[in-house]
Amino acid sequence: MMPSVRHPDLEGRSVLITGGGSGIGAALTEGFARQGCKVAFIDIAREASETLAARLRDAGLSALFLQADLRDIDALRQAAAEAAETHGPVTVLVNNAAYDQRHEIADVTVDYWDDNQAINLRPHFFTAQAVAPGMKAAGGGSIINFASTSFMINHPDMPSYTAAKAGIIGLTKGLAGKLGPDRIRVNAIAPGWVMTERQRELWVTPDGLSAHLERQCLKEEMQPADLVGPCLFLASDASRMLTAQTLIVDAGHL
Ligand SMILES: NC(=O)c1ccc[n+]([C@@H]2O[C@H](COP(=O)([O-])OP(=O)(O)OC[C@H]3O[C@@H](n4cnc5c(N)ncnc54)[C@H](O)[C@@H]3O)[C@@H](O)[C@H]2O)c1
């Protein structure tokens, strides 16, 4: 369920979301559009993204789909530039895209490792690099990086991904220090287990889910929309003096 909160300062803001075509990203795209933001989202998946854009249009909302592979830094830069040309300087950037493929240690090659980091960590720096000058010129902005609690709970099945997710917290703090003087805030959100289409298709088992819920203080499954309110909060002036932090949104699992 989308949060009922309204942040009037977000109205008309140019927002760029990576991986905004499905999963948590789709909820974020819709959530920012519902606040009256001018939303652009970058995604590799054309079908899911066009379906989302059409669904939003039918609901009287809009979001600009920019197809790009975030592993391709030139394509990433081009998409970020297109978002700014269409909607004005991006003042909210949400780095949400990721690829949580499982891997056995013995099977990981150098190419696999680099490709995994190229989606799970590298784009977060280069999108920030692309939008920071526009944010500075606009008087400030907010960058929100999606980490994960997976590395905090010693998740065993994807060490390259968990390394990247831990790296995102270091990157968040480094960027926050560098960009703070330009009034650009940089924070991370670390979700617990969120029931996206992909999680349900690939990784959710009845036993795994019930063991997870057992540990959560709140006994409900987390849904993509549950990340929208925290993300809007970090984007808006409601969190004006909040930067370099990681907000854990895991229903009290840790
Ligand atoms: N779902 C969870 O349980 C969970 C838990 C902790 C953290 N997270 C984090 O939340 C964020 C969103 O997770 P999700 O579960 O919605 O992910 P998802 O895999 O369902 O969606 C990711 C989106 O990114 C896009 N994408 C993937 N590779 C891309 C590429 N190379 N170029 C452009 N777009 C690409 C996909 O098409 C998709 O739309 C991620 O950062 C993830 O690490 C999710």
Cβ of residue 152 lying under 6 Å from some atom of ligand 1: no
pLDDT of 26 reads 98
Contact 21, 65 (CB under 8 A): yes
118 Cα nearest atom in ligand 1: 31
Consecutive sets of 10 residues in the chain, 254 residues long: mean pLDDT of each?
A: 96 98 98 98 98 98 97 98 98 98 98 98 99 98 98 97 98 98 99 97 96 97 98 98 98 97
pLDDT at site 130: 99
Is residue 99 a contact partner of residue 114, using CB atoms and an 8 Å limit?
A: no
Q: Are 112 and 216 in contact (CB under 8 A)?
A: no
Q: Does residue 164 fall inside a structural domain?
A: yes
Beta carbon of 7 within 6 Å of any ligand 1 atom:
no
Minimum CA distance residue for ligand 1 atom 23: 19
pLDDT at 48: 98
In a domain, 4, yes or no: no
The pLDDT value given to residue 225: 98
Neighbouring CB atoms inside 10 A of 207's CB total 8
80: containing domain: 9-249
Q: Is 1 part of any domain? A: no
Active-site residue numbers?
161
Q: Does the residue 68 lie in any domain? A: yes
Would you state the pLDDT for residue 3?
A: 94
Instruction: Give ipTM to 2 decimals.
Output: 0.99
Is the minimum distance from the CB of 172 to ligand 1 under 6 angstroms?
no
Count of domains observed in the chain: 1
- For residue 207, what pLDDT is reported? 97
The pair of structure tokens assigned to 250 is: 């895991």
Question: How far is the C-alpha of 235 from the C-alpha of 110, rounded, in Å?
Answer: 36
The per-residue pLDDT for 193 is: 98
Question: Residue 241: inside a domain, yes or no?
Answer: yes
Answer yes or no: is the C-beta of 185 below 6 A from any ligand 1 atom.
no
* Domain-embedded: residue 35: yes
In CATH, what number is assigned to the domain containing residue 89?
Answer: 3.40.50.720
125 inside domain: yes
Please answer whether residues 155 and 198 qualify as being in contact, where contact means their C-beta atoms are separated by less than 8 angstroms: no
Residue of 146, 158, 141 whose CA lies nearest to 243: 141
Nearest CA to ligand 1 atom 11: 96
**254 found inside a domain:** no
Strand runs labelled E in the chain: 14-18, 38-43, 63-67, 92-95, 141-146, 184-191, 246-249
Of 43, 155, 172, which is best to mutate to test ligand 1, by the most ligand atoms within 8 angstroms of its C-beta? 43
